[in-house]
Amino acid sequence: RIREHIEDKAKLPILIFPEGTCVNNTSVMMFKKGSFEVGGTIHPVAIKYDPRFGDAFWNSTKYSMMTYTFNVMTSWAIVCNVWYLPPMVKEEEEDAIHFANRVKAVIAARGGMSILPWDGGLKRKKVKESFKEEQQKKYCQIVT
């Protein structure tokens, strides 16, 4: 359905948040590859909140939805910087994952954020043992 939409030039662009979750304004998490598989032009946008007047980030392990809503509604302002970056197109030999990572790197660089290789699932779940073992092997190779 997305491919059909982007091929119809009479339709407006689709706004997609490929990260799938919001983090604490310090990093960009892994993008879901689906929106990068359909082709078309990607118009990256970097958004970074300025927490001086009110924090838009909801730490759901610390605050209930009611508390978060109250904090946002009573904050002086929710301010964010928005950077519209140059359009990007998937290169001929590039797969969706590499394209997503290239777009993510451009967004992270402009927003002054670090790049995380994992998705938002780690906010709620324990890390898989296989992922831990992979990182341990990489560390052992560095040390030895």
**Which tens digits make up the pLDDT trace of 72-81?**
899 888 898 9
Rounded-to-integer distance, Cα 99 and Cα 40, Å: 12
pLDDT tens readout for residues 28-62 = 888 888 888 888 889 999 998 888 887 788 877 88
Question: Among 18, 37, 31, which residue's Cα sits nearest to residue 95?
Answer: 37
Asked if 4 contacts 37 with a C-beta cutoff of 8 angstroms, the reply is no
Helix, strand, coil percentages, rounded to 5, for the chain: 40, 15, 50
69 pLDDT more than 70: yes
State which H helix or E strand residue 65 sits in: helix 65-74
45-61 exposure pattern, b = at least 16 Cβ within 10 A, e = fewer: ebebbeeeebbbebeee
Looking from the CA of 24 toward its CB, the CA atoms found within 13 Å total 5
Is the model's pTM score more than 0.85? no
pLDDT confidence of residue 40: 82
